[in-house]
Structure 1
Amino acid sequence: MQELKKDWWKKEVIYQIYPKSFNDSNEDGIGDLEGIRQKLPYLSDLGVTMIWICPIFKSPMHDNGYDIADYEDIDPQFGTMDDFDLLLNEATKLDIKIILDLVVNHTSDEHEWFQKALADKNSKYRDYYIFKEGKEVPNNWRSQFGGSAWEKVDNEDAYYLHLFGKEQPDLNWENPELRQEIYQMINRWLAKGIAGFRIDSITFIKKDQDFASLPADGADGLVSCKHKTRNRPGIGRFLNELKKETFEKYNCVTIGEASGVNYEDYEEFIGEDGYFSMIFDFHYADIDVESGTDWFKRSHWQAKDFKELLAQSQETIQQAGWAANFIENHDQPRALSKLVHPDFQNARSACGMGALYFFLRGTPFVYQGQELGMINAERRNIEEFDDISSIDNYYRGMEEGYSKEEALHFVNLRSRDNTRSPMPWNNEKYGGFSQVQPWLEMTEEYPTTNTQDSEVISFYQKMIALRQTSEISQTLIHGTIEFLSNVAENVIAYVREYNGERVYSFTNLGTDEEEVIWPKDIEQIFVNTHNNESQDIGNVLSPYQSILFK
């Protein structure tokens, strides 16, 4: 393999895999590493150059693998380390790199360190986590998954902190010995040959050391923990050390899940000497809710609001560094269901939404099933949900005064299970994902939306080829971005420019036709989602139509 340049990751197209739901090779209803290996030709044909695999480490699965019991063992439901090595080897032969999820804000309560901390309060491991002595709950912080962020220790007057589920105790990053253990583990994975990491919940590793309560913000008398635990002063010391001790030693890619970072701080995160190669920006991704964690607080956004947030995100990141562009992931609803009016949730609109974001400045991420134009799964009662935060939001919604039906509606709109339902490979029973009942019920449209029957797939292949190997590749990868303001409110238009070449993207994010005055005479059309790439486009954009031209 040729030596990679310093910023090689700018040229990648990354495909995110939720392993539990991708492909089941051993007919137990759960996807696995061998299932991913079997589908490498599909991913290669699609054109992606890297896959990000959500957690595959040993875990009791209270939060679907984001509660890690052993960082250096594969969970048996996914296979073995030999299976991983085989997958890595075969992916490399196809020029597909692999990155993994790195979860180092917390572990599982079944991790050996936490078990030793519980067994002996005087052991060094007690200081690997955040314990507080006392008969009373230390403060009124609410965890990200609801309820108190503190859990009482059995048979002790003491509590431990968990910003997520009670089975996910937070690590104490103030402890230098713990940090060194984490760095050594990271370096062993990088030495194995993976290309890098997507780094989970990383802005939570620094806690305000006063552990003070704040005024309540909900009917439960608690307050969101994020005010005292997310992107707090002093976090830079930890993040710089993490980079220096690990990532800098390898020419790897790092993508931070960096919620709560203000735009004025982006340069610290993704600048020339930033902590990460790129970070996900949730300012536009969470447009449908007022808060990423309180789903019952719905927003009433308009296309112009999305346009403003997207432009601000892209222009800010252009000044600071590099973007990780996405419209779906394992924590978000399906983009078609979230961003498109119900009357227009079809393959054409899926292509339009894809083209809107895919040609932005940055590295594009495609989440499994997005390339099929999948929609949310409608579940009829709370028992059908697996996701821990869906269940919490259901009960919190009712606590805040909503009816059962309203609470269920909010959860159906926002549930993380929407993108975690199994991938449909064909129109057979269980969509070819498995021969047996999958671990989570599938979406209802798989008989007509699957990899054998989707015009959206060929459109994604075309977009990837345009970005990677076409005459406008250099402009789409390296070009600057500028959003155009002299367009209708519902139209999102931007221009990419590189070495004097300008490529324009226009998308109608509304439900009515919109008149457009094109900026210049159109020389060539590369994408026209609604008219089969017709070179004669007139001056009207249909609802959710997207056009790319020079």
Structure 2
Amino acid sequence: MGHTRWWKDEVIYQVYPRSFQDTNDDGIGDLPGVIQHLDYLKNLGITMIWLSPIYKSPMVDMGYDIADYQAIDPQFGTMDDFDDLLDAAKQRNMKIVMDLVVNHTSDQHEWFQKALADKNSPYRDYYIFKKTVDGNVPNNWRAIFGGSTWTEVPGEPGTYYFHTFAPQQPELNWENPKLRQEIYQMINWWMEKGVAGWRVDAITHLKKDLDWASIPADADDGLVSVVKKGQNRPGIDAFLDELKCETFDKYDAITIGEAYGVPESDLPNYIGPDGYFSMIFDFSYMNIEVADVNEWYLGPSSWTTKDLKAILFKSQADISAVDGRSGNVLENHDQPRALSKLVPNAKYQTGTAAKALATMYYFLPGVPFIYQGQEIGMKNFERHTIQEFNDVSSINNYEMALKKGYSEKEALKTVNAKSRDNARTPMQWDSTKYAGFSKHEPWLEMGNDRSCINVVDELPDSHSVVNFYKQMAEMRSDDRYHDILIDGALVELQNVPDDVIAYQRKLGNQIITVLINLGTHEENVTLPEMARRVILNNNVPMNLTDSNLVLPPYTSIVLVS
């Protein structure tokens, strides 16, 4: 059965529940807090909510280490709260998407605990255990969070278990058909509850190179990135195909793959009309600001708007060539805030620039995703010591930077810029001490650059970032523009200054033109003749004559023929 693509009209909002709204004053967001703001989200034009993990978890990796797939973690509430959320969303014609994390579990999961307790347990084969002849680690692969991918089993010298991420996230053995069936039953149990679909985590890691061989090191720790032997391996297709047939297809679910590194040649299998997923996230430019995404402690890259443009349009062309769709993103829970990342000069990190970035990505072909706080223009914080960070990846990168010879000051600067904690600070609802998120000190310190950046201050202001996001959603659902924004072709406009990103959406004889100046200087653009009437701009007076437009720094404009 092919996808019906019912989901292509959706506007999806990612909730990071821990930081969204605390209703029981323990400093941690919860499911009743999500219910409390459904009307706000509806008003923003949101049709679907993706919840980051809310399953029972020891929270070593903030819920991406799952101890029980069919239980809600008590800090978020109960299964009754979850059912209430499903009902409340349904009453508002909104759908709920959950996070599917099936590459690994927590080391606290019952399966892993049973596997550790008895080396003859069938659960040993649910994970990847290796006993070596010489007692040394099986190979020189480096985990994504740093260190070896192998951890020795307590009380069993010379026996190790495998993990792509943290040692507390043992890898599931997808080669085992019995394990796969358990996973499919769990997925279908949630689908029966009424979940609309899944954001699928770390899915390109399911297949490993089964030779488990060491290869030449890529750094002076003697290790090599696991990505080389454990991502997008031949044979992954069989797993993804079976997963889709046994679960998603039965419910016509929406699925969004977190599929880093999928080769262009594999795109038809992933997101073609009969692909494994409805779409994958377009992460093409998500890590443009670092020299190496797997070892970002090495520091920033020297990217330009011209680079960003080239990556963006190449990715869109690749996706369009296979009749695919992308999940278009500026931010998520694993990324710093876009305003701080994509606008290097702090002087320009304003609501105007937040709206320019929004314009850039929202009108591309595909489905727009909005990460909580993005719609009000939230920014990175600055922490002054490494002890103030919570994120396991940030702490690991800091330590790797020190080992590499960077000073504490240099290492801290890099971590402040790239830390995942940037996106995880509590949502800013108002201007009170804890921003209306909680009456209690939050689990993670608030952002420290938040003057006037909150929902209460922005909603009454027609020129605010939040109202701009509302306008974009209204445009997307407006009968005059809907079809072209959903199904129109994308054409890059070439003859523009390097700092200007310019494109058109075309359908039949209808054309929408989108122009964004992501530079710090005024730019002149010669308008295409089919761009005459302004339907949206980020509220900066622009000098528009018959054929010429002067774009001030960080401005955006949308025109129709």
TM class by shorter chain equals over 0.9
DSSP 3-state at the match of 1:487: coil
Q: Say whether residues 1:495 and 2:504 are aligned partners.
A: yes
Q: Say whether residues 1:26 and 2:24 are aligned partners.
A: yes
Q: State the Cα distance separating 1:399 from its structure 2 match.
A: 1.2
Judge conservation of contact 1:361–1:478 (CA < 8 Å) in 2. Answer: yes
Q: Name 1:177's counterpart in structure 2.
A: 178
Q: Which of 379, 385, 389 is residue 381 of structure 1 equivalent to?
A: 385
Judge conservation of contact 1:526–1:549 (CA < 8 Å) in 2. Answer: yes
What are the Cα deviations for residues 68-119 of structure 1, in whole angstroms up to 9, with x where unaligned? 0000000000000000000000001001100000000000000000000001
Q: Name 2:485's counterpart in structure 1.
A: 476
Q: Name 1:315's counterpart in structure 2.
A: 317
Q: Name 1:549's counterpart in structure 2.
A: 559
Q: State the Cα distance separating 1:532 from its structure 2 match.
A: 6.4
Q: Which of 436, 440, 458 is residue 467 of structure 2 equivalent to?
A: 458
d(CA) in 1 for partners of 2:128 and 2:9? 41
Q: State the Cα distance separating 1:470 from its structure 2 match.
A: 4.5
Q: Name 1:152's counterpart in structure 2.
A: 152
Judge conservation of contact 2:543–2:549 (CA < 8 Å) in 1. Answer: no
Q: Name 1:525's counterpart in structure 2.
A: 534
Q: Say whether residues 1:9 and 2:7 are aligned partners.
A: yes
Q: How many residue pairs were aligned? A: 547
Q: Name 2:332's counterpart in structure 1.
A: 329
Identity of aligned residues (%): 55
d(CA) in 2 for partners of 1:495 and 1:400? 46
Q: State the Cα distance separating 1:219 from its structure 2 match.
A: 2.7
Q: Say whether residues 1:410 and 2:414 are aligned partners.
A: yes
d(CA) in 2 for partners of 1:189 and 1:348? 41
Q: State the Cα distance separating 1:51 from its structure 2 match.
A: 0.4
d(CA) in 2 for partners of 1:220 and 1:437? 40
Q: Say whether residues 1:516 and 2:525 are aligned partners.
A: yes
Judge conservation of contact 1:422–1:438 (CA < 8 Å) in 2. Answer: yes
Q: Which of 363, 369, 389 is residue 367 of structure 2 equivalent to?
A: 363
Judge conservation of contact 1:495–1:503 (CA < 8 Å) in 2. Answer: yes
Judge conservation of contact 1:527–1:533 (CA < 8 Å) in 2. Answer: no
Q: Name 1:139's counterpart in structure 2.
A: 139
Judge conservation of contact 1:431–1:447 (CA < 8 Å) in 2. Answer: no
Judge conservation of contact 2:381–2:422 (CA < 8 Å) in 1. Answer: yes
DSSP 3-state at the match of 1:526: strand
Q: State the Cα distance separating 1:533 from its structure 2 match.
A: 8.7
Judge conservation of contact 1:491–1:506 (CA < 8 Å) in 2. Answer: yes
d(CA) in 2 for partners of 1:155 and 1:116? 14
Larger displacement relative to structure 2 (213-222 or 499-508): 213-222
Q: State the Cα distance separating 1:218 from its structure 2 match.
A: 1.9
Larger displacement relative to structure 2 (211-220 or 49-58): 211-220
What are the Cα deviations for residues 217-241 of structure 1, in whole angstroms up to 9, with x where unaligned? 2232211100000010100000000
Q: State the Cα distance separating 1:520 from its structure 2 match.
A: 0.9
Q: State the Cα distance separating 1:124 from its structure 2 match.
A: 0.6
Amino acid paired to 2:550: V
Q: State the Cα distance separating 1:447 from its structure 2 match.
A: 4.0
Gapped runs of 5+ residues in structure 1?
none
Q: Name 2:271's counterpart in structure 1.
A: 270
DSSP 3-state at the match of 2:273: coil
Instruction: Give the CA RMSD over aligned residues.
Output: 1.4
Q: Say whether residues 1:83 and 2:60 are aligned partners.
A: no
Judge conservation of contact 2:280–2:326 (CA < 8 Å) in 1. Answer: yes
Gapped runs of 5+ residues in structure 2?
459-463
DSSP 3-state at the match of 2:424: coil
What are the Cα deviations for residues 437-492 of structure 1, in whole angstroms up to 9, with x where unaligned? 00000111334210012310000000111012241111111111111111111111
Q: Which of 392, 397, 401 is residue 396 of structure 2 equivalent to?
A: 392
Structure 1 outlier segments of 4+, above 3 Å: 532-538
Q: Structure 2 vs 1, CA of residues 113 and 534 (structure 1 numbering), >3 Å: closer, same or farther? A: farther
Amino acid paired to 2:145: F
Q: TM-score, normalised by structure 1?
A: 0.98
Amino acid paired to 1:430: Y
Q: Which of 439, 442, 445 is residue 441 of structure 1 equivalent to?
A: 445
Q: State the Cα distance separating 1:535 from its structure 2 match.
A: 7.1
Q: TM-score, normalised by structure 2?
A: 0.96
d(CA) in 1 for partners of 2:545 and 2:82? 49
d(CA) in 1 for partners of 2:282 and 2:216? 28
